[in-house]
């Protein structure tokens, strides 16, 4: 899996997460996408560290889970500050 794929996964997950959290006031969708890209890279690196090749589906799943986890934490913190 190339770096471009991680960016695409991050953008898709970031967009979906920010749409799911649309109840937040003044929410920045671009920030969610950038954080999701970082999470996708982190998840992929974790998958590679566990011994999976970059082309295996497990690395893709790890990148999606990493992006979801990072964006979820970010939205929880951002929501807490806005209340």
What pLDDT was estimated at residue 27?
62
3-state SS, the chain, equals CCHHHHHHHHHHHHHHHHHHCCCCCCCCHHHHHHHHHHHHHHHHHHHHHCCCCCCCHHHHHHHHHHHHHHHHHHHHHHHHHHC
Domain count, the chain: 1
Q: What is the pLDDT of residues 16-39, one digit of tens each?
A: 766 666 555 556 777 777 888 888
Reported as a pLDDT band with limits 50, 70 and 90, residue 63 is confident
- Give the domain range for residue 68: 3-82
């Amino acid at each position: 899996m190339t770096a471009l794929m991680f960016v695409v996964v991050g953008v898709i997950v970031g967009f979906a997460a920010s749409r799911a959290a649309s109840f937040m006031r003044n929410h920045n969708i671009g920030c969610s996408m950038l954080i999701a890209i970082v999470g996708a890279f982190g998840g992929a690196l974790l998958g590679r560290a566990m011994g999976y090749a970059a082309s295996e589906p497990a690395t893709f799943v790890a990148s999606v889970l990493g992006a979801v986890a990072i964006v979820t934490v970010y939205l929880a913190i951002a929501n807490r500050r806005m209340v």
